[in-house]
């Protein structure tokens, strides 16, 4: 089903927006008429994403940056504002790293790498974005994960980092509300054809089992998440701020815990 929003002439920046769910969100805003800038570490991914966004009809541009490096993030926002020719109306922050491993099998650096990308990276993006946001009116969406509120074996680093991301969302919705800025988190459920899903459910059989464990009976699509981002960024959500919105077919209510034992034992076998 094709959902229509009107973001004509709106400026959208998607950090971590060159593949998977976040790129799907960038494509959604491109189809809805926005000017779109994407950023991530790898220049080749940035170039490819910009090409597709341009083909979708957007005035598009891209920036190579690592969210772990605050100076790169600050420079990235300066460039994004220059490309967009004005303030940022919609900011999506979704850069993340993940690999399945038990705490006993992770080095201190392995834990640090995920906390630095997901949580510290979110802080860097939030701190650098404020001066460039449209005030009043900007919508900021942080991309979280069910691990933020559901403990999962092999995911302690992501659980801790994404729980932190949601608290950043909730706190900044208070600190920035008076500037007319709304902040919300989207919590994607298991989304098909994505890196995150392939890493956590690395066999077709397991992906099928995960799909069956979702109350709506299927894996989500990147368009499901893009549509939720369009809704949260639109005027229809003008009074929604500080929400942590699961876009997961109901998975985090019960299905997630039902399939976790199976996921865990397969990941244990693969990590041996």
Residue 239: half-sphere exposure toward Cβ, Cα within 13 Å: 0
Q: Which helix (H) or strand (E) holds 30?
A: helix 20-31
Q: Does 195 bind ligand COA (CB under 6 A)?
A: yes
Residue 109 Ramachandran class (φ > 0 left, ψ -120 to 50 alpha, else beta): alpha
263 binds, among ligand COA, ligand NAP, none (CB under 5 to 8 A by kind): none
The span from the CA of 124 to the CA of 147, in Å, is 21
Question: Exposed e or buried b for every residue in 117-147, given b needs 16+ CB within 10 A?
Answer: bbbbbbbbbbebbbebbbeebbbbbbbbbbb
Q: Does 188 bind ligand NAP (CB under 6 A)?
A: yes
Strand partners of residue 13: 37, 91
Please give the residues from 100 up to 139 whose contact with ligand NAP meets the rule CB under 6 A.
117, 121
* Interface residue with ligand COA, options 99, 123, 130, 149 (CB under 6 A): 99
Q: Does 201 bind ligand NAP (CB under 6 A)?
A: no
Q: Does 40 bind ligand NAP (CB under 6 A)?
A: yes
* Interface residue with ligand NAP, options 6, 9, 42, 212 (CB under 6 A): 42
DSSP 231-265: HHHSGGGTT--S-EEEESTTGGGTHHHHHHHHHHH
Q: Which stretch binds ligand NAP (CB under 6 A): 94-102, 103-111, 204-212, 252-260?
A: 94-102
> How many distinct helices (H) and strands (E) make up the chain?
10, 7
Q: Does 78 bind ligand NAP (CB under 6 A)?
A: no
- In this structure, how many other beta carbons lie within 10 angstroms of the beta carbon of residue 207? 18
Q: Does 96 bind ligand NAP (CB under 6 A)?
A: yes
- CA 71 from centre of chain: 21
Q: Are 11 and 23 in contact (CB under 8 A)?
A: no
The span from the CA of 137 to the CA of 171, in Å, is 18
The span from the CA of 243 to the CA of 196, in Å, is 23
| # chain residues binding ligand NAP, by CB under 6 A | 28
Please give the residues from 114 up to 133 whose contact with ligand COA meets the rule CB under 6 A.
114
106 binds, among ligand COA, ligand NAP, none (CB under 5 to 8 A by kind): ligand COA
Q: Does 143 bind ligand NAP (CB under 6 A)?
A: yes
* Interface residue with ligand COA, options 98, 144, 155, 207 (CB under 6 A): 98
- CA 174 from centre of chain: 21
107 binds, among ligand NAP, ligand COA, none (CB under 5 to 8 A by kind): ligand COA
Closest residue (Cβ) to ligand COA? 97
**Least distance CB 22 / ligand NAP (angstroms):** 5
Q: Does 191 bind ligand NAP (CB under 6 A)?
A: yes
**Least distance CB 9 / ligand NAP (angstroms):** 25
**Contact footprint for ligand NAP (CB under 6 A):** 16, 18-22, 40-42, 45, 66-68, 94-97, 117, 121, 143, 145, 188, 190-191, 194-197
**Contact footprint for ligand COA (CB under 6 A):** 96-99, 101, 105-107, 109-110, 113-114, 195-196, 199
């Amino acid at each position: 089903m094709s959902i229509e929003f009107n973001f004509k002439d709106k400026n959208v920046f998607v950090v971590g927006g060159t593949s998977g769910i976040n790129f799907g969100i960038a494509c959604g805003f491109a189809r809805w008429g926005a000017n779109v800038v994407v950023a991530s570490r790898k220049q080749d991914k940035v170039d490819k994403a910009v090409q597709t966004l341009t083909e979708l009809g957007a005035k598009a541009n891209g920036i190579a940056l690592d969210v772990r490096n605050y100076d790169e993030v600050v420079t990235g926002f300066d460039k994004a504002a220059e490309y967009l020719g004005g303030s940022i109306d919609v900011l999506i922050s979704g850069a993340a790293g993940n690999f399945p491993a038990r705490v006993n099998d992770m080095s201190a650096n392995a834990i640090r790498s995920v906390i630095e990308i997901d949580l510290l990276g979110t802080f860097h993006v939030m701190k650098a974005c404020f001066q460039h946001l449209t005030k009043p009116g900007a919508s900021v969406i942080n991309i979280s994960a069910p691990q933020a509120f559901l403990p999962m074996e092999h995911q302690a680093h992501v659980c801790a980092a994404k729980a932190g991301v949601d608290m950043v969302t909730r706190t900044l919705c208070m600190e920035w509300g008076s500037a007319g800025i709304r902040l919300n988190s989207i919590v994607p459920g298991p989304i098909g054809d994505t890196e995150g899903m392939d890493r956590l459910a690395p066999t077709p059989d397991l992906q099928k089992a995960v799909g069956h464990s979702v109350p709506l009976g299927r894996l989500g699509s990147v368009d499901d998440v893009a549509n939720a981002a369009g809704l949260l960024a639109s005027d229809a959500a003008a009074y929604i701020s500080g929400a942590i919105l699961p876009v997961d077919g109901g998975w985090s209510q019960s299905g997630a815990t039902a399939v976790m034992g199976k996921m865990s034992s397969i990941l244990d076998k693969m990590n041996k």
